[in-house]
Structure 1
Amino acid sequence: MAGFVETNPTRDAYWRSIILFGRNSASYKFALGKALLEAASHEKNFVYLEELAEPYARNLVDHLRRTDRQGTSPSSRFLEVCRKFSRGEIDKDELLTRTARLGFVNVIDAFHNVNQAETPVRFFVDERGARGGISLTDELLSLKEDFQYGNLNHEVEARWRLVETAWSLDISPSLLVARYDPAVGGIYVEPSGARRVDVTSCKDALNGYQKGRCFYCSSDISVEAGHEDLCDVDHFFPHALANLLPKHRINLDGVWNLVLSCQGCNRGKQGKSARVPAIRFLKKLHRRNEYLIGSHHPLRETLLTQTGRTEAERRSFLQEMESFAIQNLVSRWEPSDELRPVI
């Protein structure tokens, strides 16, 4: 009997693990991630802290203007520097000088930590002591050659917005209950007694967890507007069922039922349309939802609320939906061409 073959993660998989599953006590990791992607686009091998400070501080200032709460701690010397810049109390030169001195104290050391361990692939080498900056590794510089590179900045931004929204509402990111608005393709929250808060693009939020691949055929997809491979947000159980379901109990626009697909699978000549996907895709949907719940993703509470508090309840919920869907829509669908799934 043949043995198992070890599969090694791809470069973009390591990057996504850092952004999606690293600890979030402040938003510095997201700002550094965006700054690193920007540096990689300029093909630099070494970046002084003074250079890195500009995109790093710029992104933090932009987010502070959107949401003042950027961490779990009530105070931060560095974030206060960014606020002073926003208020016009210091100029840009002073902002960058203080960013180089205060902004990277912990984030550079912690960036590659995921699940209490260092990732075996590193995207930069810390040379602050010897050279006053960081060396960008081939792994980071090679990312820009990958198809997925164009998606990564969108994914960092989406994750950042989900986390900061939870902080601003003074709740744990794992307790954030989010909703999907199909009219604008966005995720929003609506706190009790408060107005709706638009959070992020649904595509950007979900793409990293599908590794930039179509949910059905596993072909490459993009979340960049105008890209020829721009993905669709697809309702796994077709929206045609909406008028047949009790709206107060089952929301087909819920995150539990949303996947990203290529245009061909969603609306091409042989696309899914209002048909029910083959049963293997229901198993895949269940695995995806359990993965998000188990990783304490910011959408975790949304999934628990929509599908059940226990794994058994969630499995039963999907099975009931499957039975209801096929009894009403009768036709099953699967893609005509399917690449090997990316694990």
Structure 2
Amino acid sequence: MSRFYEIEPSLENYWRAVILFGNNVASYKFALGKSLLELGAVQDDLVRLEQLAEPFSRHLCEHLKHAPKQITSKSSKFLDTCKSFNLGELNQQSLIEQTVKLGFNNVIDAFHIVNRAEIDTRFFIDERKTHGGIRMTEAFLQLTESEQFQSFEHETEARWRLVEEAWGMGVSRNLVSVEYDRELKALFASNRERRVNITSCRDSLNGYQKGHCFYCYTSISVEPSSPLLADVDHFLPWVLNQDIPAINGVWNLVLACPECNRGEQGKFARIPSLLLLERLHRRNEYLINSHLPLRETLMSQTGRTTERRAQFLQTQYNIAKQRLIHQWQPQARGEATF
């Protein structure tokens, strides 16, 4: 997984590593991430806990309304406080006070931990004992100026939705699958009992592609009003839906710029090159390393080991090549980032 940020050790990649690959025993990391993004380029680099508590508790209270399970443990005093606020049993000031007291006990320490080790770049320094808050670093201030900054909120929300839905299913992980709805351009989770629309497919996949077109590496966006809005594309074309199993599976979905997907020299129903197939395998391994629930979905669809997943892709690729014959690869328009 470290390849994700080592291939291009940028601030954007470190941030995405935290959101996409950090260990999740509670959703607090997502609430903290969204709060930091909301605060943006603060005038004073010191953010006191009272200031941080308002957006942090607000995001958690909003998510609790549609997803009561926000932690893997059986109970949480802090979440009970948030639920009481939602029921009107607690006022805003009391919620803030309890958030300062209980809400940040573990998440501030754990935020920068990915794969059991701290990433090389910190976005804030813990100064709770000395100044009653956290101090934003120069790295975070630079992050707010990134062209990818507007996408981070969408990506964080999408990742949060995926994780909480897996918890909320309350069943064996292997029974939860994430699938794609072509009409809604959305991902939904399903098991034997129900199907739930989770979140935008664009928002869910963008971080793993680092905000770039899968094919040519040009910048893309998940902002609905952006002229760079990404297309959701089937790597092996949809016309093969009778030949390729689970063709709507996340393993076969990528984000592409409009030029690559439907431009004059676009892919359409042609088969991407072997080089691009290798890139798909690498991207899918990133998805598997993000754990719930994408890991279980991909492994059930494509194989339990890296070798079997590579073999699965090659087999489906061979079928596609026999049916559609023509191969396609665009000229790179950006630096290789994944």
Q: Counterpart in 2 of 1:267? A: 262
Distance 2:195 2:265 in 1: 38
Structure 1: stretches of 5+ with no match in the other structure: 1-5
Distance 1:331 1:202 in 2: 28
Q: Secondary structure at the match of 2:40?
A: helix
Q: Counterpart in 2 of 1:245? A: 243
User: Is the CA contact 1:216–1:338 (under 8 Å) kept in the aligned structure 2?
Assistant: no
User: Is the CA contact 1:22–1:113 (under 8 Å) kept in the aligned structure 2?
Assistant: yes
Deviation at 1:338, TM superposition (A): 3.4
Out of 264-273 and 325-334, give the one that drifted further.
Answer: 325-334
Distance 1:144 1:87 in 2: 35
Q: Secondary structure at the match of 2:227?
A: coil
Q: Counterpart in 2 of 1:207? A: 206
1:48-63 equivalences in 2 (<5 Å): 48-63=48-63
1:308 maps to 2:303:
yes
Q: Counterpart in 2 of 1:229? A: 228
For each residue in 1:46-91, what CA deviation from the matched residue of structure 2 results, as whole angstroms up to 9, or x when unmatched?
Answer: 2111111110000000000010000101100000000000000011
User: Is the CA contact 2:162–2:292 (under 8 Å) kept in the aligned structure 1?
Assistant: no
Q: Counterpart in 1 of 2:89? A: 89
Deviation at 1:8, TM superposition (A): 5.6
Distance 2:108 2:194 in 1: 37
State the one-letter code of the partner of 1:245. D
Distance 1:175 1:156, change over 3 A: farther
State the one-letter code of the partner of 1:196. R
User: Is the CA contact 1:13–1:211 (under 8 Å) kept in the aligned structure 2?
Assistant: yes
Q: Counterpart in 2 of 1:324? A: 319
Deviation at 1:342, TM superposition (A): 0.8
1:146-157 equivalences in 2 (<5 Å): 146-157=146-157
Distance 1:307 1:7 in 2: 25
TM-score scaled by length of structure 2: 0.94
User: Is the CA contact 1:30–1:156 (under 8 Å) kept in the aligned structure 2?
Assistant: yes
1:116-127 equivalences in 2 (<5 Å): 116-127=116-127
Q: Secondary structure at the match of 1:237?
A: coil
Deviation at 1:294, TM superposition (A): 4.0
State the one-letter code of the partner of 2:78. F
Deviation at 1:215, TM superposition (A): 0.5
Distance 1:71 1:87, change over 3 A: same
State the one-letter code of the partner of 1:267. R
Q: Counterpart in 2 of 1:3? A: none
Distance 2:99 2:63 in 1: 16
Distance 2:15 2:176 in 1: 24
User: Is the CA contact 1:187–1:202 (under 8 Å) kept in the aligned structure 2?
Assistant: yes
Distance 2:43 2:171 in 1: 39
Distance 1:311 1:119 in 2: 25
Out of 316-325 and 206-215, give the one that drifted further.
Answer: 316-325
State the one-letter code of the partner of 1:197. V
* The one of 252, 255, 267 aligned to 2:250: 255
**Count of residue pairs brought into register by the alignment:** 333
State the one-letter code of the partner of 2:253. L
Q: Counterpart in 1 of 2:195? A: 196
State the one-letter code of the partner of 1:235. H
User: Is the CA contact 2:78–2:99 (under 8 Å) kept in the aligned structure 1?
Assistant: yes
Distance 1:301 1:95 in 2: 36
Out of 302-311 and 57-66, give the one that drifted further.
Answer: 302-311
Distance 2:107 2:332 in 1: 43
TM-score scaled by length of structure 1: 0.92
Distance 1:214 1:100 in 2: 41
Distance 2:52 2:273 in 1: 48
For each residue in 1:23-55, what CA deviation from the matched residue of structure 2 results, as whole angstroms up to 9, or x when unmatched?
Answer: 111111110000011112445412111111110
User: Is the CA contact 1:176–1:301 (under 8 Å) kept in the aligned structure 2?
Assistant: yes
Q: Counterpart in 1 of 2:3? A: none
